[in-house]
Amino acid sequence: MCRHLAYLGPPTPVGVLLTRGPNSLRTQSWAPRDMRGGGTINADGFGVAWWHHPDAAAPDHGPGVIWHGGTAADIRAAAETAGVPADQAGAGAPGTGPVVSRYRNAAPIWTDPAVDEVLPQIRSGAVLAAIRSATVGMPVERAACAPFTHGRWAFSHNGAIPDWRRALSAVAAEFDSPPLLEAESLTDSAALWVILRGLLGGGGDTTAGVAHSGIGESRSFGATVTSRSSISVTSASGAAPEVRTWGSATNGSAGAAFHGAGARDPGEVLRLVMAAVLARSPRARLNLLMGDGAGIWGTTWHHSLSVLETDGFVLVASEPFDDDPRWRPIADRQLLSVRDGRVSVEPLDIEIGKAGS
């Protein structure tokens, strides 16, 4: 469906990451090696996000402009996520962390001269990029191109969610998400990002899972959610996880309790949202990639990821861009995280049963 990559390491030219190797991300736009039935080429646009110090953030240039560089709203959102008072938010405000900027174009990546002439002049130690193969029926427009951003976060989705309007509306209700009308584009990926970004940030610890349940019902954070499929999430050891609730869900939704929890582990957010999506759309393909300038999180559900880990940097990609023997494929149905130079891979432990009657 799409191809993407993420990089963490010493500052490197952003454009070089798009063109590096005989099977570069740009080459994968017309000659991908492993699409797994999700199309043949990736010519419906591309995008790249990179992180930099808030002092380097450019002013907003207004709506409709391809360049998006660390707007004041982005800095405020990053400050709120980091717990910085609103009156301290701004370029250079303590605790805001890196600011994300992005460049997107709905044209094929091989047609854009900025890839060779502009993006190589930008250096960053954290990059997330994607090329797009649009699902039939979804718009081909710049706003539909990943990465999607919010605050310090950037996100890309390789795959598709059948019957996504119904499925994601139900998931959004479960997690008390922001209105899906906030999605940048009328696509499954953009709507999924609204749900995910609504669950990221805060302070505290998230260790709960979704309890085993019977067909047609799953329990998440103390709330009962009715669905057409059975679903269970277990701990990485295979044992049933401890289920906790935070506060009381006054509206009966899982999100009411979840939003009062404090900081959410990004990997756990991905796992829980994927479980909720798959409960309603069991044939969904959810190869997700997300970063915040300091870490990378990814999932393999039908579509692939590979990781290149060295002493100096880490690369995560849909396909290896060269023949370096250090590339290793990530098995299906895994959760990958990269933090502090360490790569962790663990099972997603999401099981989808037969549809209920």
Kindly report the backbone phi and psi dihedral angles of residue 50, in degrees, each rounded to the nearest multiple of 5, phi listed first: -140, 160
| Interior/surface letters 52-70, b for 16+ CB within 10 angstroms, e for the rest | bebebbeeeeeeeeeebbb
Helix, strand, or coil (residue 278): helix
Residue 206: pLDDT band with limits 50, 70, 90:
very low
Ranges of beta strands (E only) in 146-258 are 148-150, 153-160, 210-211, 217-220, 223-226, 229-233
48-94 pLDDT tens trace = 999 998 876 555 444 444 444 444 444 445 445 444 444 333 333 44
Residue 96: pLDDT band with limits 50, 70, 90:
low
Mean pLDDT of all residues in 190-198: 97
For residue 124, pLDDT beyond 70: yes
Distance CA 174, CA 223 (A): 9
Lowest mean pLDDT: which of 142-146, 197-201, 271-275?
A: 197-201
For residue 172, pLDDT beyond 60: yes
Mean pLDDT of all residues in 258-272: 79
pLDDT of residue 313: 96
Percent of the chain, pLDDT > 70? 67
Which amino acid, 120? P
Kindly report the backbone phi and psi dihedral angles of residue 352, in degrees, each rounded to the nearest multiple of 5, phi listed first: -110, 125
Kindly report the backbone phi and psi dihedral angles of residue 205, in degrees, each rounded to the nearest multiple of 5, phi listed first: -130, 140
For residue 231, pLDDT beyond 60: no
Helix, strand, or coil (residue 213): coil
Mean pLDDT of the chain: 77
Mean pLDDT of all residues in 208-224: 30
Mean pLDDT of all residues in 302-320: 93
Which amino acid, 250? T
Kindly report the backbone phi and psi dihedral angles of residue 197, in degrees, each rounded to the nearest multiple of 5, phi listed first: -65, -25
Distance CA 202, CA 13 (A): 32
Q: How many angstroms separate the Cα of 192 from the Cα of each of 70, 148, 180, 199, 229?
A: 22, 10, 8, 11, 19
Whether 83 contacts 279, CB under 8 Å: no
Angle of CA points 290, 294, 123, to nearest 5°: 95
Q: And the tokens for 244? A: 């906790």
Distance CA 158, CA 49 (A): 16
Helices (H), 159-261: 164-174, 188-199, 254-258
Mean pLDDT of all residues in 174-197: 96
Please provide the DSSP assignment of 65-122 as one string: -SEEE--HHHHHHHHHHTT--GGG-STT-TT---EEEEEEESS-GGG-THHHHTGGG-
Q: How many angstroms separate the Cα of 305 from the Cα of each of 75, 282, 315, 352?
A: 31, 20, 10, 22
Whether 353 contacts 240, CB under 8 Å: no
Neighbours of 245 (CB within 10 A): 17
Distance CA 188, CA 14 (A): 27
Torsion of CA 124, 32, 130, 310, to 10 degrees: -30
pLDDT of residue 177: 95
For residue 305, pLDDT beyond 70: yes
| Interior/surface letters 124-147, b for 16+ CB within 10 angstroms, e for the rest | bbbbbbbbbbbbeebeebbbbbbb
Highest mean pLDDT among 36-45, 193-202, 324-333: 324-333
